[in-house]
Structure 1
Amino acid sequence: MQKSDFRGILPAITTKMTADQQVDLAAVRADVAFQIDGGVDGIIACGSLGEASTLSAAEKLSIAKAAIEEAAGRVPVILTIAEDSTAAGAALAAEAEKIGVEGLMVLPAMRYLADDREVITHYRTVAAASGLPIIVYNNPIAYGIDISVEMLREMADEPKFVAVKESTGDTRRINETLNALGDRYQLLTGVDDLALESLILGCVGWIAGLVVAFPRETVTIYKLVQQGRIPEALEIYRWFLPLLHLDIGPKFVQKIKLAEHIARGTSPVVRQPRLELVGEEEKAVRAIVEAGLKARPDLSRYGL
């Protein structure tokens, strides 16, 4: 992947925690190695799935640095900017560039539901703080702010805005954006259980969640779509769908960390106020993951 090119599979990795909810940097490095071995095209650190809301800026930078050291130039490391204030976001962006981060995924400022003018000003201010390319993260379902096609048109004069993580949950937005803006932005799907549809409609990458537990399956789906082998991609995708549905709702972090734990043996610990799943919630996730593992497709059939 070239700088400013965010095609392919980009896992939004979870932040591995010790039993006392401290960041486990050794486990972060092991996770990055696991993803790269699975064939991914980049690493996104400290996103929503990475529990960004409970990490300090210093922790985020330490996670990014560990990921960069492990990646060793094999794939780019992208840091998420999801801060409460524009000033904090800009400061983190500047520090990220200093340690070797190769791109940023930027959200609107948290907590406050800004209007369009405020959102655009936030993005421009963060962009001015570094020379790094930026993925604009649009997730109105989770964060209450919709970065519309018209807003993207207004932002198009800033060359650092190179891609959009499209997480509206409405695949019509993909065609609307492409019709209005052509290839000005790389569109990346951010909704796991709409990923295949989104890739067929024109998204060039998948910022994925369940990839953290199943990288090879995720990568194979993407490669098959790129080769136009849609029926074969559908075979894997339909197996994957019950697992991909875990990437939805307020407890998606707990669900995906538990899926990782079952599939890979990694730590399911989350940072409070989140708590690990118990009771029927845990049983339901375990049943989905165990059924998926039992029916896991033989990827050698696809010759990739």
Structure 2
Amino acid sequence: MKIMVEDIVGVLGIVPTPATADAHRWDTSNSINFEETEKMIKMVDAAGVEIIMANGTFGEGATLTRREHLDFTKCIVETNARSRPFFAGVTTMNTRDTIERGRELMDVGADGLFVGRPMWLSMDQKDIVRYYKDIAEALPGVPLVVYDNPIAFKAKISAEAYVALAEIPEIVAAKHVGGPTLEPDMIAVGNKMRILPLAPEWYPMAEKHPELAKACWTGGIACAPSPIVANSKAILSGNLELAKEITAKLKWAEAPMFPGGDLARFMDYSIQIGHIRFKAAGLIDPGPSRPPYIEVPAEYVPGAIECGQRWAQLEKEFGAQH
């Protein structure tokens, strides 16, 4: 399956990594709940999510062992059975390990790679471009989705760097954190790559730039796929009034997840908060979070639960429409 920029249309749903009951222990040898993973992927497929991605931040790419990462990817590949494109997440502490891990994930059947960058130090913009050029050179023809998270990776990808990245044929899209740089970054790259807004930010971009805003990403797909897919269908069919209504509901569902409305505070505990909201949404059993990201401030818990419960309400509402 050769994936091009024009194939990046609709929802790129990022899934969590369901955990076994003992996943919180340091001596757990296999923390992947494969049964729950299969259930989750079948659910996402059945809901009509266009593209699957895995092992970003709340997908715990940083807490899985190499073997677990590979086995989890295999499970998604086998369950998905190429019914839709699957980008396997790969983020390590250096370029060479990322390339080696990327080769392994492609060898077991991933359709492309969702690539973060090393987190030890912030990277210069020229180094960011070189990093992705190196990966593309090492893995020619492998479709790449750039992972742009300024908090996790200690730097925002600049518009100038995006222009350079858009010239790399392997790069088909970038998961964007949103905010004031979303529109200028989208305009800067044009149709050479997809700049992906978060699902609640898709409608405003689609209204202003329908030729550019053809896809979004979401971390809520395992909470409630139905409203997110409904939003995608509305936008792609040009029914922007309906998309506006659904978008308001998506924002309502996500709002309690951010402690005090602060993205930075959320990011410090996004893995733990994610497990709480997935469990509260009720579609999958995420299990416990993996070490070292175990603790979460007590005052953050009610918001995470409320977020999951709001997603459950939307899933009931929109799921009943199918």
Shift of 1:111: 1.4
- Counterparts of residues 191-230 of structure 1 (less than 5 Å): 191-200=198-207, 201=209, 202-230=212-240
- Paired with 2:143 and 2:229, the residues of 1 have a C-alpha distance of 23
Identical positions, percent:
23
Contact 2:17/2:286 (<8 A) preserved = no
Shift of 1:275: 2.2
Contact 2:199/2:228 (<8 A) preserved = no
Aligned to 1:175: 183
2:309 equivalent among 279, 287, 290: 290
- Paired with 1:205 and 1:16, the residues of 2 have a C-alpha distance of 26
Shift of 1:2: 6.3
* Segment of structure 1 superposing worse, 175-184 or 118-127: 175-184
Shift of 1:93: 1.3
Change in 2 beyond 3 A, CA 1:180/1:240: closer
Residues 39-89 of structure 1: CA deviation (Å, up to 9, x unaligned): 101211111120111112322121111100000110121111211011110
- Counterparts of residues 41-120 of structure 1 (less than 5 Å): 41-120=50-129
Contact 2:116/2:147 (<8 A) preserved = yes
Change in 2 beyond 3 A, CA 1:276/1:8: farther
* Segment of structure 1 superposing worse, 84-93 or 135-144: 135-144
Q: Which amino acid aligns with 2:3?
A: K
- Paired with 1:237 and 1:127, the residues of 2 have a C-alpha distance of 35
Structure 2 residues not aligned, in runs of 5+: 24-30
Contact 1:210/1:256 (<8 A) preserved = no
Shift of 1:253: 2.6
Aligned to 1:267: 286
SS of equivalent residue, structure 2 residue 62: helix
Residues 118-172 of structure 1: CA deviation (Å, up to 9, x unaligned): 22221112122223111122221332222222112223332111212221x32x4
Shift of 1:34: 1.0
Change in 2 beyond 3 A, CA 1:292/1:218: closer
- Paired with 2:319 and 2:279, the residues of 1 have a C-alpha distance of 25
Q: Which amino acid aligns with 2:301?
A: E
Change in 2 beyond 3 A, CA 1:297/1:163: same
Contact 2:143/2:170 (<8 A) preserved = yes
Aligned to 1:257: 275
Q: Which amino acid aligns with 1:219?
A: V
Shift of 1:276: 6.2
- Paired with 2:130 and 2:85, the residues of 1 have a C-alpha distance of 27
Shift of 1:210: 1.2
SS of equivalent residue, structure 2 residue 221: helix
Runs of 4+ in structure 1 off by over 6 angstroms are none
SS of equivalent residue, structure 1 residue 219: helix
Q: TM-score, normalised by structure 1?
A: 0.89
* Segment of structure 1 superposing worse, 286-295 or 248-257: 286-295
* Segment of structure 1 superposing worse, 236-245 or 26-35: 236-245
Asked if residue 138 in structure 1 is aligned to residue 156 in structure 2, the reply is no
Structure 1 residues not aligned, in runs of 5+: none
RMSD: 2.4
Aligned to 2:28: none
The total of aligned residue pairs comes to: 300
Change in 2 beyond 3 A, CA 1:140/1:255: same
Quick one: higher RCO (CA 8 Å, sep 6+), 1 or 2? 2
Change in 2 beyond 3 A, CA 1:282/1:301: closer
Shift of 1:24: 1.4
Change in 2 beyond 3 A, CA 1:301/1:151: same
Q: TM-score, normalised by structure 2?
A: 0.84
Q: Which amino acid aligns with 2:304?
A: V
Contact 2:42/2:79 (<8 A) preserved = yes
Q: Which amino acid aligns with 1:159?
A: P
Change in 2 beyond 3 A, CA 1:59/1:265: closer
Change in 2 beyond 3 A, CA 1:164/1:283: closer
